[in-house]
Structure 1
Amino acid sequence: MATTDVAMNREAFKTLVKNTLERRLFYIPSYKIYGGVAGFYDYGPWGCQVETNVLNLWRQHFVMEEDMWEIRCPCVTPEVVLKASGHVDKFTDLMVKDLKLGSCFRADHLLKDFLTKALEDDARLVAERAAAPQAVVPDRKSKKNVAEPLTPEQKLRMQSDLAGLDEFSGPELGEKIKAYSIKAPESGNDLSDPYPFNLMFSTQIGPTGTLHGYMRPETAQGIFVNFRDLYYESGNKLPFAAAQIGSAYRNEIAPRQGPMRVREFTMAEIEHFVNPDDKSHPKFKSVENLVVYLFPRAEQMALRDHVEMRIGDAVAQGIVDNETLGYFIARTYLFLTKLGIDKKRLRFRQHLANEMAHYAQDCWDAEIECSYGWFECVGCADRSAYDLKAHTAKSGQELTAYESFAEPKDVVQLTIVPNKKVLGKEFRRDQKILSESLEAMNREEALALKAKLEEKEKATYKVCSTGQEFTLTKEMVAIEEKVVKTHGRNFTPSVIEPSFGIGRIMYCLYEHCFYLRPAVPGEQVSSVFRFPPIVAPIKCTVFPLMQREVLNVKSKAMSNGLTRAGVSNKLDITGRSIGKRYARTDEVGIPFAITVDFDEGVTVRERDSKQQVRIPDAEVVDVVRDLSNGTVVWEDVAAKYKLVTVAEIEAEL
């Protein structure tokens, strides 16, 4: 959190950034004139521009450079799709209620806030006592309690609970809340036991209300349900990847933390489909020497800090499960640091065992440190083959890939043949759903049913989708395994998924790029966003040196030339002083400013160094365009053209 030479605490810094962002319309609380609604924000003019530039860079870095398909799917998703994916049953957070007022709170956040504050207060108390030990000797006549530091045992227990927070079940979380005597914020009332709350917004599709749907909680499912067509378009070859950018919706229990936790947000997700038996990546060697901060599971549980490690070593040692997952961790690091995220405040944290989804093989979150602490902004997960298998089972459509063998192989083939005539006679209209369920059994389920039928001649079978139970006999289904020679096989691909929360990344970018420029004689302290040119909301401003028609005409011509060259710019002919106009544009992070005067050529100023150079009219558009897209850097331009001093500029006035 670099601001000035004067130290600033986290809350003060957060408030300063928030006020600047809202005042300059980077974002605005939604429906503000009606009191607002928690968890919703509007992007103002500058915020829209930053998001557009971040997404353009994301497309360049991933979709184009990794040769991915991009698709766009509806935000409203039928219930059947999200039932198959598990979101209807499992997309929940644990909630507690104020037993008197009925206010709702997210249980893990209450525990996290309590533990974080207790540990921070303890650290501050210890520091104060070390600095002035005589100040904490209590007056024996006074009845006022004197705060005492935590015991080593208390501190260790709190640190351990904080590290393992994501592993607690509902009952365990409830016990922790009771053990620490945590009450409802503000009211201080007792809390209920934690219980699950589904985070999806429900809706009805069509006028009859019979087709139930949800606002999508992620963009990934749209890619999975289109797998078969995308696989065909990829020449029926693996690996291939598809990407989607769009809005997602989560009905957060108690959204706080400003724009970091909202109910509608932009996601950018990639689904990279691979052979589950070969998760190598052809470009892995290009990133294996990249050094990043990793926070493996073992370090977290031992209450140690993150470690610096080569991606190649992390994969070779089995810390990161496979090359493709390691490759996308590295590419995510390169993307975030190119945006302007401070690499010293970026780490990849591995999910704890109970925190990880049941189907995931490995999962790492890119966490960025900001005034809210370390915050998850990107998830990189090996989702195994769960999603495609789930949609295959629910839809009845095969979402598989085919692999040809170089030489024919002997393979064990399982056949499941329901006797539909016998099943129809016994179960009538339930025959169809029972037959489909039997045919969809995996090998383990089928062989277990076969063994029961051979041993007892009867067996109970449950259809998972409906919960119905049927008593089957040997005559109702034939299950056989036999060895056959085959030239290939069908299999369900695994998926490596990098998932980006664009709004969270943007907010962290704002904080990492924000600073207060110290005052110089004749000027006030000013706030500045030092955005890299590639993500700055506008690349350049154009100012006439003073209010003269000839200068206004030349300035408009210069602005038009920049626009034709694809350089976003803003023309300012308000007549305010040049210094004030510079300060206004620095505050929104515009990296370059062109000042038009009466002489041949113009003055180009760079935001962070405040250096200015004189560039001929015929060359300035190309120079600013190259600076904006990163083809050249300011040091190259400053070395080529004449630097202009402040005294020379003032002489023009």
Structure 2
Amino acid sequence: MTAFNRTALEEVLKKRFFYAPSFQAYGGVAGLYDYGPPGCALQANIIDLWRKHFVLEEEMLEMDGSIMTPAEVLKTSGHVDKFTDWMVKDLKIGEIFRADHLVEAVLETRLDGDKQARKAEAEGSVQPEKNKKEKKKGKIQTAVKLEDSVKADYEEILAKIDNYSGIELGAIIRKHGIKNPETGNDLSDPVEFNLMFESNIGPTGHLKGYLRPETAQGQFLNFKRFLEFNNDKMPFASASIGRSFRNEISPRSGLLRVREFVMAEIEHYVDPNNKDHPRFNEIKDLKLRFLPRVIQDEGKTEPIEITVDEAKIVDNQTLGYFLARIQLFLTKLGIKSDRLRFRQHMLNEMAHYACDCWDAEIQSSYGWIECVGCADRSAYDLTVHSNRTKEKLIVRESLAEPIVYEKTVLEINKKVFGPKLRQHAKSVEEYLTSLNEEQLEALKKSLQDGNGGTKVPGKDGNQYEITNEYLSINRQTFTEHVREYTPNVIEPSFGIGRILYSLIEHVYWTREDDEQRAVLSFPPRVAPFKCLLVPLSNNPAFTDLVADLSKRLRMLSIAIKVDDSSNSIGRRYARNDELGTPFAVTIDFQSVNDGTVTLRERDTTKQIRENVDTILQVLKDLVEENVTWEKVMELYPTFVTQQLE
């Protein structure tokens, strides 16, 4: 098998204008890209399939939120304080790198050099000297055999790369002598960098804002409206597709790490006491390739392949259900299942509020890349926004049988509390009302032990004397006819650009007889253009038939591309193979005489010839994936008269 050639693929994508650096005439800006005609169509088709697979299939409630977000919202969500990556700087020239990505790239390069050296040694050839270098993957690489212990250390670091703190990354950089790969200069210690784009809303500059780093917050803040729209029924899901922005430290991997991108996010709201999914049986026998944290902790990266039902390592049914649905979506797009895995977040990498989190990672020439994140975010988001805004983001559920229970309750004597504490009353009250039952019982005991008095902290950090006059703490009996709860949220989050690029790599190949002839084997449902309409020449005799076929194909909602250039038929087929166009209808002089045309399939280059009505029906069935090309070949004779390739 021919080794994958990323440079050749990038030339095809550039030539066919799938995408290009934004503002290139002005030197461009790293991490910003423009999509050309095939790129736009491919992205739109991926999104369309996503909507059908998730929004329509799961009856989700879709919304389109504002891109500009007030700083207060993102302060509450934790993004202002915690939405950061670790960066290091070249101490001489100031070049910036994301620390974990740099460590990963350098160690992978060294391991690749070790692999070459060991191969050369096994074949009996001379081992390259340390100063003998070769260009590979755009980097200078030395083929040097590593000591076994060093090799094992590198492999363990790579397996745990997402689990390191800034201090730990700094220690790794120093221990293994990691420097700027291009200059060899020393690097600074890692420092945190917030990834959000800051801005101001309005002309005064008083209202601070950010370009949103995700679409989720708008969904959380509209939870009450969603619930009402859904007739107060649980569980349900909201969904949003739109642009998000992250000020990446050092975007260097094309569409995989950009500063502006399209996200598709789902927020599935579920009862925290029942996270089973009603459709779990539909997917329980589907096999996924899981990489749980216990395997990563051992410094290994080989996944285990088991069914979703067998995967007790996944926290709950709903989370497992969405992992399975994610795999079905990605493979339907054309992602190769043997190059797809689900990696569980390491403990240090997982958000503190999350119950469990898995990344759908797709393997490309850049390695394993996270393209979808799927997390159980518990009740964190709705809770913090509710606490900040004082708006109840809860579900009220009538109970068939009332619940009777006892609870420790704090009651503040406002007539004494306010006059005694004066301007400090609010600070102390905020502290007292934040106490849970166990803490209230401890406070009650402290008051008893202190003969009716004790000191408590205010929210301002100072200590204040309180007595039994100020408040009472007692056990009370409650009867509930309505249960109130804050839903937990299962969140699948899709990076459309990353999926798009990974898909391109997975469907790219070259013909055996000519490596210059590239093919993108997109499934018909996502191909930018479904059909090439190609007259044999620009002879006027074909004009009316081309116009009629174009109209009829458009009426069938089949995206077409007409190529009536002066190039040979073979050349025109070849350049549309590079666009990933799965089918081609060819019009020749026989078409004018008897109304028949040929239909060519991209991957096999085989053709059938039938009348126009038959070809249009076959093409419609192929594009809608109601029939396969193999089945078509069984139903109709292969057309071999013309040799056009």
TM-score normalised by length of structure 2: 0.92
Q: Does 1:583 align with 2:592?
A: no
Partner residue, 2:496: 502
Residue among 336, 347, 355 paired with 2:330? 336
- In the other structure, the counterpart of 1:473 is 466
Match of 1:312, SS state, is: coil
Q: How far apart, CA to CA, are the structure 1 residues paired with 2:415 and 2:49?
A: 60
CA contact (8 A) 1:461 1:469 kept: yes
| Equivalent position of 1:141 in the other structure | none
Residues 393 and 440 in structure 1, CA contact (< 8 A), matched pair in contact too:
no
Measured in 1, the distance between the counterparts of 2:232 and 2:394 equals 10
**Does the C-alpha gap of structure 1 residues 479 and 212 become closer, same or farther in structure 2, counting only changes over 3 Å?**
farther
Corresponding position of 2:33: 41
Q: Which residue of the partner structure matches residue 555 of structure 1? A: 546
**Closer/same/farther in 2, CA of residues 30 and 602 from structure 1, 3 Å limit:** same
Residue 137 of structure 1 and its aligned partner are, at CA, apart by: 10
Percent identity, please: 47
Q: Using the alignment, how far apart are the partners of 1:435 and 1:218 within structure 2?
A: 35
Query: Could you tell me whether the CA contact under 8 Å between 2:256 and 2:501 is conserved in 1?
Result: yes
Residue 357 of structure 1: CA displacement? 0.8
Measure how far apart 1:468 and its partner are.
5.3
Write the deviation string for residues 528-556 of structure 1: whole angstroms up to 9, x where unpaired: 10000000001111111222223121111
User: What corresponds to 1:394 in structure 2?
Assistant: 388
Q: Which runs of 5+ in 2 are unaligned?
A: 130-141
**Match of residue 194, structure 1, among 174, 184, 190:** 190
**Structure 1 unaligned blocks of 5 or more:** 139-145
1:411/1:604 CA distance change after superposition, 3 Å: same
For residue 635 of structure 2, the aligned residue among 618, 637, 640 is 640
- Aligned positions of 1:338-353 closer than 5 A: 338-353=332-347
Cα deviations by residue, 1:322-343 (Å, 9 ceiling, x for unpaired): 1111100000000000000001
Aligned to 1:368: 362
- Residues 1:545 and 2:536 are matched in the alignment: yes
Partners of 1:113 and 1:292 in 2: how far apart? 28
Structure 1 SS opposite 2:554: helix
Distance change (3 Å), C-alpha of 1:434 and 1:311: same
The aligned residue for residue 19 of structure 1 is: 11
Correspondence 1:308 to 2:324: no
- Code of the residue aligned with 1:565 in structure 2: it is L
CA contact 1:320–1:362 (8 Å) conserved in 2: yes
Alpha-carbon separation, structure 2, partners of 1:148 and 1:557: 64
Aligned to 1:406: 400
1:433 positional shift: 6.7
Q: Which sits farther off after the overlay, 328-337 or 448-457?
A: 448-457
CA apart distance, 1:420: 4.6
1:418–1:438 contact (8 Å) kept in structure 2: no
**Residue 477 of structure 1: how far off its partner (Å):** 4.6
Q: What is the rounded CA distance, in whole Å, between the counterparts of 2:194 and 2:404 in structure 1?
A: 47
SS, match of residue 313 in structure 1: coil
Matched residue of 1:643: which SS? coil
Indicate which of 363, 377, 381 corresponds to 1:383.
Answer: 377
Q: Distance in 1 between matches of 2:540 and 2:128?
A: 74
2:95 to 103, 115, 122: 103
TM-score when normalising by structure 1: 0.91
Q: Is the CA contact (8 Å cut-off) linking 1:518 and 1:525 kept in structure 2? A: no
Q: SS at the partner of 1:393?
A: helix
The question of whether the paired residues in 2 share the 8 Å contact of 1:417 and 1:439 is answered with: no
Q: 1:421 to 1:30 in 2, by over 3 A?
A: farther
Q: CA deviation at 1:648?
A: 3.7
1:591-648 deviations in Å (ceiling 9; x for gaps): 0111122232211111111111112222333321221111122122222223211x34
For residues 214-363 of structure 1, the aligned pairs below 5 Å read 214-304=210-300, 305-314=302-311, 318-363=312-357
1:203 to 199, 204, 209: 199
| Alignment CA distance shift 1:555-1:491 (3 Å) | same
Q: For this pair of structures, how many residues does the alignment match?
A: 625
Native 8 Å contact 2:117 2:128 kept in 1: no
**1:187 offset after TM fit, Å?**
3.3
Q: Given the alignment, which residue of 511, 518, 524 partners 1:533?
A: 524
Deviates most, 241-250 or 293-302: 293-302
Cα deviation code 1:146-201 (max 9, x no counterpart): 98632222222222222222222222221111111222343333322222111111
Distance of aligned partners of 1:476 and 1:629 in 2 relative to their CA distance in 1, 3 Å threshold: farther
Give CA deviations for 1:277-322 in whole Å, capped at 9, x if unaligned. Answer: 11111111111111111111112222331111111100xxx21111
Identify the residue that residue 133 of structure 2 maps to in structure 1.
Answer: none
Counterpart in 2 of 1:569? Answer: 560
Amino acid at match of 2:585: I
Does the 8 Å CA contact 2:113/2:144 hold for their aligned counterparts? no
Cα offset, 1:43, TM superposition: 0.8
State the Cα distance separating 1:459 from its structure 2 match.
Answer: 3.1
* More displaced stretch, 433-442 vs 543-552: 433-442
Give, in whole Å, the separation in 1 of the partners of 2:273 and 2:318: 12
1:608 aligns with 2:603: yes
